[in-house]
Structures are given as C-alpha cells and as structure tokens.
Amino acid sequence: MRLTAGGPHYYALRPDSTVGGEVYERELLARLPAHGIDLELGLPRDHRAASPPAGWRITVLGRRRPRARPPLGLRRGSRGPHWVLAPLVYLPYVVRLLRGRRVDVLRGHSVRHTGPALLLGRALARARVPIVLHHHHLYPRWARLEAAIARRADAVITVSEHSRDELIAAGVPADRIHVVAEGVERPPPTAGWPDAWPGPGLRLLYLGRLEARKRPDLAVAALRAANVEASLVIAGDGPLAAELHGDGVRLLGRVSEEDKWRLYDSADILLFGSTLEGFGLVIAEAQSRGVPVIAARGTATSEALVDGESGLLVAPDAASFGAAVRELAENGRRAAMAERARESARRFDWDACAAGVAAIYRDLV
C-alpha cells in the first residue's frame, strides 16, 4: 500500500547544496517514493525543483511573479519564511492538505520551522493524521521551545543516538523517538583538485558553513599549531569568512557538489571542529573517499567515525588539533586510517535511510 506524506518545506532542495540539512532532505525525499511513500511538498517560490522526481507533488507557496515586496513572512533572497512567521505562511496550506485528505502523514523537516504549523493545522482541521518531525540537533537558544514542539508530535525521527539522548533529556518521550542514520552519496572517483591547495605538504580540508558553531577558526589554528609542512583549503561561506585568512590558507567560498567531491579526492585530512552537531555528514562523506578525519570530541560525530581507526576525536582546541595533525602526518599511519575510513563509511546508505523512514511512517498510519 502506498502512502502520501507531506507538509510545508523551508529548504529549497537545491541540487547543488552542500549544507548538511539540505543534503539530508534532498537525498531522503528523492528515495522515499521507491519505498512506497509519495510526497506533497509546499515549497517557497524559488524552490528550484524544475524537474521533480516521480512521486512528488509540489505546491509553490507565495506568488510566482516577482513583486515589489515579498509576501507576508517571506524574506527576499531567503530559503523561506522566518520561523516566527512561518505558521502564518504555512498554516493555510496545512489545513488544505488535511481537509482535502491529500496526506496520510504530516511530515516536518524542521521542528521549529514547520512543527507549529503542522500542530495548529491538525487542530483546526480536526484531523487525526499523525505528525512526524525530522530532527538533527537542538540549538541551545531554542532547546526548550523545540522540545515542547517535539513532545506534541506522534514521532520524531533523528539521525544519531546523541541527538536522541538530547531529546530525552529535554523531556521528549523516549518511545516516540526513532534513530535512522543518514547516508552517503557515492559518485564515481574524480580526477581530484590538488591545485586548490596553496602550498606543498599535507593537504588539510575544512568544508562547511563558516559560522561560530562549526568552528572553522579551529582549522586555521590547527594548521599553525601542527608545525608540519601543510596548507589548508576552506570551502564554504558564512559570517566568519573575513576572519579566516592567513599564510597557507585558501578560501574557496561555497563550492558545487562536483567540486566538493574533487576536494575530498585530493585531501589528506579533514578538520571538523564543530561543537554542535547532530550527525556530521561531512565526516561520513570524507571517510567514504578514504580521508581520515580529526573532529571535536563531545558531539554526535563520535558515531560517524571510529576513534583511533578511521579518525581522531580530540578536544576542540588548537593544541589538540595540531597534535592530531602531527600524528597523521606520518604516511603509514594515515594510509592505514584511510583504508579503515572507507570501510567505516559503508554503513551509511541513503537507500537504507529512506527504507527506515518509510517503515516508521507506515507504523504510525
């Protein structure tokens, strides 16, 4: 029996996005129809889903034609409405879905951005359709609010045991929380991009948003503290970009999906200093290409690598990261870890992720 899951969607599902949450949604939603789950998606005007996969039905929220001012709640140039105004934008759509009996499951890809509209819409429509919220990690600033929303859902699907434990500690009933690990895309090997690095020696890579919680500054500090011949490529954009310049550092800005894999195929070590993470998709991707990872201890990244075998978990400070770089500068140690990294990453599969999510949807219905 096929089911239909749907709801409003904040992300634009761009095919070239390398942002972890957007990659998760793009890869999961593309595979759900193969597991018997069709999709009803309410997307912003600039959803960029020009050729939706089979099994998707898209409603564009907001007017299609440009106008002098964006519709209420929609920010010009953004991926969607601000979360505070999101219920005003999304609520009418949710009510239409329910009154038209167009969905068997209401799914929210973000607890804070879509959860309130789903809960309010179901109450207004007096429907009994189950609500599933997809969750990656709690933001400290909004943890109490997000936990209060998640407690009212019929199920919460999260991506790691670490995130599950956070939700339970915040008061979400354990029996409503389901862990389904993310997957890793596996495109064919590329010719690499060795010229991206500005100097000789070890090729260090940071890939991700340049924002405080991701700690890109730790990659620059590790390069200086390691005291070995090395250079660093930083791929990503964000508010901290202007603070990350230095000798042996090259900032590429945001890169395409193709260039991301070219960087993995030329890097020796991935530096991942993030101190707030629900899973660490970049870690899994790098390992799938045989790139050992040095990551900050204390987050869900401990589930994405095998400490001491496919990577190293260390304290999030320059001295610890620098020492780890020196340890992996030895070719034999790095080569053995690279092989183990490839093996470790085989457990992350997008098709298995979609199958697990589909099974949870069916159980609820």
Position 76 confidence tier, pLDDT thresholds 50, 70, 90? very low
The structure tokens listed for 213 are: 């919680």
Does the residue 165 lie in any domain? yes
Q: In which band, very low, low, confident or very high, does the pLDDT at 112 lie, cut at 50, 70 and 90?
A: very high
Q: Are 243 and 314 members of one domain?
A: yes
| 173 within a domain of the structure (yes/no) | yes
Residue 82 has pLDDT above 90, yes or no: no
Mark whether 118 and 248 lie in a shared domain. no
pLDDT band at 44 (very low <50, low <70, confident <90, very high): confident
pLDDT band per the 50, 70, 90 thresholds, residue 50: low
- Does the residue 189 lie in any domain? no
| Per-residue pLDDT tens over the stretch 234-245 | 999 999 999 998
* Residue 154: per-residue pLDDT: 98
Q: What is the pLDDT of residues 293-322, one digit of tens each?
A: 999 998 888 888 999 999 999 999 999 999
DSSP, res 12: -
- pLDDT tops 90 at residue 261: yes
- Residues 125 and 142 reside in one and the same domain: yes
What pLDDT score was predicted for residue 233? 98
Domain check: are 160 and 27 in the same one?
Answer: yes
* CA atoms within 13 Å, Cβ hemisphere of 328: 33
pLDDT at 77: 41
Closest CA to 361 of 102, 128, 37: 37
Q: What is the mean pLDDT of the chain?
A: 91
Q: Judge if 17 and 123 occupy the same domain.
A: yes
Is the predicted pLDDT of residue 62 greater than 80, yes or no? no
- For residue 133, the cross-strand partners are 108, 156
Q: Which helix (H) or strand (E) holds 124?
A: helix 111-125
Q: What is the pLDDT of residues 331-365, one digit of tens each?
A: 899 999 999 999 999 999 999 999 999 999 999 99
Cα gap 16→80, rounded to integer Å = 17
Per DSSP, helices labelled H in 198-244 are: 216-226
Angstrom distance (rounded) from CA 50 to CA 78: 18
State yes or no: pLDDT of 45 exceeds 80. Answer: no
As a whole number of angstroms, the distance between CA 358 and CA 34 comes to 10
The whole-number pLDDT of residue 15 equals: 74
Model's pTM, two decimal places?
A: 0.88
pLDDT at 72: 43
Q: Hey, what's the torsion of the CAs at 87, 92, 97, 98, to 10 degrees? A: 80
Whether residue 10 is predicted with pLDDT greater than 90 in this model: the reply is no
| 129-155 residue pLDDT tens | 999 999 998 888 899 999 999 999 999
Residues 77 and 176 in one domain: yes
279 belongs to a structural domain: yes
Whether 23 is in a domain gets the answer yes
Q: Let me know whether 33 and 150 are in one domain.
A: yes
Most confident of 58-67, 83-92, 198-207: 198-207
Q: Is residue 170 part of a domain?
A: yes
220 lies in which domain range? 194-345
Task: Pick 215 or 1 by higher pLDDT.
Answer: 215
Radius of gyration of the chain (CA): 21
- For residue 281, what are its two tokens? 């998709």
Q: Tell me: do 161 and 212 sit in the same domain.
A: no
Does residue 188 lie within any of the structural domains?
no
Count: domains in the chain: 2
Q: What is the mean pLDDT of residues 78-102?
A: 86
Each residue of 168-181: pLDDT tens digit?
A: 999 999 999 999 99
pLDDT at 182 over 60: yes
Q: Which residue bears the tokens 């390691």?
A: 226
Is residue 48 domain-shared with residue 85, that is, in the same domain? yes
Following DSSP, what letter does each residue of 278-328 receive, concatenated?
Answer: SS-HHHHHHHHTT--EEEETTSGGGGTS-BTTTEEEE-SSHHHHHHHHHHH
Give the CATH number for residue 238: 3.40.50.2000
158 & 178 share domain = yes
pLDDT band (50, 70, 90) for residue 4? very high
141 contacts 167 by C-beta, under 8 angstroms:
no
The residue-averaged pLDDT of 14-27 equals: 82
Same domain, 25 and 139: yes
Q: How far is CA 164 from the centre of its chain?
A: 16
- Whether residue 230 is contained in a domain is answered as yes
Query: Is there a single domain that holds both residue 85 and residue 232?
Result: no
pLDDT band for position 73 (50/70/90)?
very low
Task: With cut-offs at 50, 70 and 90, classify the pLDDT of residue 48.
Answer: low
